[in-house]
Chain A
């Protein structure tokens, strides 16, 4: 692989790992529940992008894993195998997106209920209120 492409591949990998770490930082250190939820979605998206890169093929021409003929011959299938990208990570990403969406919607519902009870989503203020009500 030429030098520039090696650099670009490394750059994409570094970016996705950096996004993962930044989203982890958001989950741990941001006190606001909305920001925590946003960080979790960014974490999921970073993992999904990483999986899509794992399935990519560095060739030209490159095609999506869809056969364009209804009755493919053996030659068609050989040509298809030469250009198609890996479909497995794509299927896994699809599953991950659905589960991520379900989990995020559940978290949003919980956060909304927390807001209705405490009138804030800041975890520091919630802890304060809880402490006060315990006293």
Chain B
């Protein structure tokens, strides 16, 4: 056994002991619990409380309320991590020549016409379902990320059935980067919108504020045409939906690049480095 093996073994055994000790000593509380933790009961009691609007979020979905309102900064930085990961992916794949198809006829690319038509019908359904997941995020389980992840199934299907070259004529890397940037701008605008409202109405306001707080009387509209929209939650969900959908589409477009567009460049790189 060499030193690396011994150290790895020590790390595994010590993490096993640490986790077991933490659980046995009830660091996570009694599992499964029967009551509620104080923090959880605060969130559940205040998320939609028309009689006491001091800390409410105007959303009946407590998880969405926590994600984008009570712990909004967590999600903001999570979106930043996602943004940086996709930026990293595009940087890693920066070195490629745009691939060219041997044929220009659409009928020669991809699978048969039957599969293509069915994929188009399924594609419309995917867009509808994912948009509904994102737009109902403040009412039912779902939200921007879940909707975006559902939407990201669409480019994979299209790449398989239509081929990447057919997709490339309508959707390319640059357009996806622009759409993703628009989604992120939407998040940024929603985050600083309360500050503008506070400035106009001469009130205190916080960043990512949704509904009014005891010391900051700025709130975004909780209902639009008698439908519960949860203030800023729907705006953030829609922006996240666009950003995540475009981000994943970009990642899949890059992953589906043919090998021949890399080989030459990377071979040159290899001999230059070593």
Contacts and interface: CB of A to CB of B under 8 A. Distances in A.
Nearest to A5: B32
B82 A98 contact: yes
Contacts of A55: 40
Nearest to A29: B8
B191 interface: no
Contacts of B251: 105, 109
Given A67-B47, A106-B89, A95 B67 contact: yes
Interface stretch (B160-168, B173-181, B204-212, B254-262): B254-262
A29 B1 CA distance: 12
B101 interface: no
B-side interface size class = 35 or more
Contacts of A59: 34
A6 B60 CA distance: 33
A28 B8 contact: yes
Contact of B31 (A13, A84, A87, A102): A13
B60 A116 contact: no
Contact of B11 (A17, A24, A81): A24
A88 interface: yes
Interface string A90-127: 11001101110111011011101100110000000000
Nearest to B145: A98
B155 to A, nearest CB: 14
Interface of B: 5, 8, 11-12, 15-16, 19-20, 23, 28-29, 31-37, 39-41, 43-45, 47-51, 60-63, 65-67, 71, 74-75, 78-79, 81-82, 84-86, 88-89, 92-93, 140-141, 143, 145, 149, 228, 251, 254-255, 259, 262-263, 266, 269-270, 274
